[in-house]
Structure 1
Amino acid sequence: MKKMMQLLLTFVAIISFSQSKEAIKFKGNILNYTENTYKSFKVIDQREDKQIGTLPFGEQKEMREVVFPTTPDNDFSAWYLKSNQTGASTEFVMVLKRLKLSTGGSDGKKTEGKLDFYAQTFAKNGDKYQFLYKKDTVFTFYDKEVSELMVKNIPSIFSVFIKKSYSLNPVGNSVSFNELGDYSNYVNNNYAALKEGQLKDGIYLDYISFFNQTPEPGSYTFELNNKGDITRAVKEENGKKTKIPAHKMFAYVENGKAHKMTFSGFLDLDKDENGFYITANRGHLFPVQMNSTYGMFGLIGGVAGAIEQGARQKKMKNGDVGKVYIDSLTGEYDFPDE
């Protein structure tokens, strides 16, 4: 009888333990339809805190720990093989830096949730790694069942991030495994724009040429419209004119001062101890229909009702402005909270 009771208690404990877990379901696909083919998918888990989060689920607000079904490496490799054939000699590597879920305040109807996400991707040949893409941000959700919503969207966030990585060619110098842990600092320490005091005057077509301080060769002059805005840069050499439209420029530097091309035209690009930044808000940097993280990352639910586009754009531009940094690894705007 005593043994039976012990077995029963053990069984109840096992059931209770299994019910306290909420496993991520990797639905959908991470199909690689680009020409950059990979033979396999490898995850290097560099998270300092391996706990994703313990959140309230269901009407009873039962606390459950969000977990990977097995391990990140096994789960992503299996997900990759569901929709991709093996081939080529290059390995796709994702370095997982951070994945944290938390819930916050509630208005009685909806609860705030935050998904803290940080990952980098690399193409690996032999024992060397070459950078592809990076995303370091916090996604904010508001929903009655915010825990369920966040867990449901984890695969969507990874899917968009991974597919974006597929579309990019490796950039920068190849590095060893030991240099992956501090890759951002490794790159920043080698960027001329971040090391040197004076920027070189000229036209820069992308973020890599800007941070490496390699402007377009030759001397360009600017053409302006009747509002005084730059429309293009023009170079005349050996009787031949070369024109660069403003929208194709990443930035230009004049008299040592940088100006970044944005949705609202050229804005001053300043620098402090954290890097280069623009003083702006989302309304200055994105058209309103592009400003939804839900739209950009294909997230499920949580989208506010539609508002007239022009009014939304004006409202966004009238909002508070602050420092918006340029990510030196991707050239993207670095918002602390998406």
Structure 2
Amino acid sequence: MKKLLQMMMVLLMLNAFAQNKEFIKLKGDIPNNGEGDYNSLIVIDKRINKSIGFLPFGDNREMKEVSFSKSAEEDLVGWYQKSNLKGGKQDLVLVLHNLDLSVKETEERKNIGRINFSVQSFVKEGDRYRFLYKKDTVFMFSHRDVSDIMVKNIHHLFSLYFDRTYKAKPVNYILSIDEVSDYKSYVRNFPVFKNEVFKDGIYLDYNSFFRQTPEEGNYVIERFEEGKPYRAVKNDNGKKKKIPLHKAYVFVENGKAYKNTFSGFQEVFKNEKGVFLLTKPDSLFPPQYDLKLGLMFGLAGAIADAIMYSPKSGSGKTVQEIYIDPMTGQYDFVDILNAEKTE
């Protein structure tokens, strides 16, 4: 009888503990539709803070801790194994750096939710690692039950991330396990950061720019009468080779770099934090590209890879430092979004 009572007390305590938690449910299949053939998934949880967040749920705004059912490693690996049979010589490595949820109520009494999401993936063969894909961003939601909406959509974020990882081609550069685990230290060794000035030349993609390996030959930038650059030309043994600048990622002239953007070439700078443009975010995208679409992407069950800016801040029209990720060539808006307040 005593043992039975003790067991009942334990069950009651476990039930009470579970009621104060909201578990992430990783639903659906994530089959590999890409070209990579992986034997298994390895998850490295590098989050400094293992807590995902304490959020208000329901009409009574009951505070609950958002959590994986077991752990990030066990849950993600188990989810992956359900739709991916073992095969191949390589392993897929996923490094989780941040998964943080928060909620604030605005003056208009709208619930605004934010998900800080930072994940990197690599292919592993033996003790050799090669970079595949990464995403560092802030997703934002607006809904009466925003906590519930965010938790229900986390599996969509990871599902889309896996899909893009499957389709990504690994870079040729070999990394060690330490470089995989400490990505920021690794990229700081790129030539673009070590060299005092940018190397003159034409760069057709972001990888060649950050590695500072321009197209071979001495190219001269040709301009229209008003001074706008339009192509690069080199003389190769009497034969001219021409590269239209709209095909270039960056061109560097006299140590100054200019990046191809929607609104034309804009100067590239660098500091101790990285390589950046000093510009308005709105100038980097076409007018029909709505930077506020992010608040709706989860409600329809699909993910829009857009970013919602705080309507009050007008950050899309403010000149800011917009950093470029060395491993993807994408613009990094995380610092801007984290600096904004959703009060």
With the shorter chain as reference, the TM-score category is 0.7 to 0.9
The answer (yes or no) to whether the contact 1:94–1:120 under 8 Å persists in 2 is yes
Shift in CA distance, 157/290, structure 1 to aligned 2, threshold 3 Å: farther
**Runs (5+) with no aligned partner, structure 1:** 304-315
Aligned to 1:54: 54
Encode CA deviations 1:292-327: one digit per residue, 9 max, x unaligned: 475699533599xxxxxxxxxxxx897111000111
Identity of aligned residues (%): 45
- CA–CA distance in 2 between the matches of 1:179 and 1:279? 29
Q: Which amino acid aligns with 2:319?
A: V
**Aligned-partner Cα distance in 2 for 1:209–1:297:** 36
Give the superposition deviation at 1:138: 2.2
Equivalent residue runs for 1:246-285 within 5 Å: 246-285=245-284
Which runs of structure 2 are paired with 1:201-240 in the superposition (5 Å)? 201-224=200-223, 228-240=227-239
Kept in 2, the 8 Å contact 1:103–1:147? The answer is yes
Counterpart of 2:146 in structure 1 is 146
Distance change >3 Å, CA 26–CA 204, structure 1 → 2:
same
CA shift, 1:206, in A, is: 1.3
Match of 1:87 in 2: 87
- Paired amino acid for 1:57: F
Cα distance in 1 between the residues matched to 2:299 and 2:111: 16
Q: Superposition RMSD on alpha carbons, in Å?
A: 2.9
In the TM superposition, what is the alpha-carbon distance from 1:73 to its structure 2 partner?
2.2
Deviations 1:101-149 (A, max 9, x none): 1112333542122211111111001022211122222222222111112
1:38 and 1:186 map into 2 onto residues whose CA distance is: 25
CA pair 59-296 structure 1, distance change in 2 beyond 3 A:
closer
Q: Contact 1:142/1:302 (CA < 8 Å) preserved in 2? A: no
Q: Secondary structure at the match of 2:51?
A: coil
Give the Cα–Cα distance (whole angstroms) in 2 for the partners of residues 58 and 100 of structure 1: 20
Give the TM-score of the pair, scaled to structure 1: 0.86
Residues 282 and 291, structure 1, Cα contact 8 Å, conserved in 2? no
Q: Structure 1 residue 227: deviation in Å?
A: 5.8
1:185 alignment counterpart: 185
TM-score between both structures, scaled by the size of structure 2 = 0.84
Distance between the aligned counterparts of 2:290 and 2:214, measured in 1?
A: 30
Q: List aligned pairs for 1:17-96, cutoff 5 A.
A: 17-96=17-96
Using the TM superposition, give the Cα deviation of residue 169 of structure 1 relative to its aligned residue in structure 2, in angstroms.
Answer: 1.9
Residue 321 of structure 1: aligned partner: 319
Structure 2 residue runs of 5 or longer lacking an equivalent are 303-313, 339-343
> Secondary structure of the equivalent of 1:171?
coil
Label 1:108 to 1:123 Cα distance change in 2 as closer, same or farther (>3 A).
same
Q: Distance in 1 between matches of 2:43 and 2:222?
A: 49
Distance between the aligned counterparts of 2:87 and 2:296, measured in 1? 28
| Aligned-residue offset at 1:5 | 7.2
Structure 2 partner of 1:121: 121
Mapped contact 2:141–2:294 kept (Cα < 8 A): no
What amino acid is aligned across from residue 324 of structure 1 in structure 2? I
- Between the aligned partners of 1:293 and 1:157, the Cα distance in structure 2 is 18
Equivalent position SS for 1:174: coil
Give the conservation status (yes or no) of the 8 Å contact 2:150–2:298. Answer: no
- Asked if the contact 1:53–1:65 (Cα under 8 Å) also holds between the matched residues in 2, the reply is yes
Structure 1 segments (4+ residues) deviating >6 Å: 1-7
Corresponding letter in the other structure for 2:201: G
Report what 2:305 is aligned to: none
* Cα drift, residue 64 of structure 1: 1.5
Write the distance in 1 (CA, Å) between the matches of 2:243 and 2:172. 25
Q: How many equivalent residue pairs?
A: 326
- Shift in CA distance, 318/292, structure 1 to aligned 2, threshold 3 Å: closer
Task: Please list the CA deviations of residues 8-39 of structure 1 after superposition, one character each: whole Å capped at 9, or x if unmatched.
Answer: 65444332222222111212333322212212
Check whether the contact 1:111–1:146 (CA below 8 A) recurs between aligned residues. Answer: yes
Report the AA paired with residue 220 of structure 2.
Answer: T
- Distance (whole Å) between structure 2 residues aligned to residue 220 and residue 261 of structure 1: 17
C-alpha distance in 1, partners of 2:129/2:316? 43
The residue correspondences of 1:192-203 to structure 2 (distance < 5 A) are: 192-203=191-202
- Match runs of 1:155-174 below 5 Å: 155-171=155-171, 173-174=173-174
1:6 and 1:83, CA in 2 relative to 1: closer, same or farther beyond 3 A? closer
Match of 2:333 in 1: 335
- 1: distance between equivalents of 2:109 and 2:327? 40
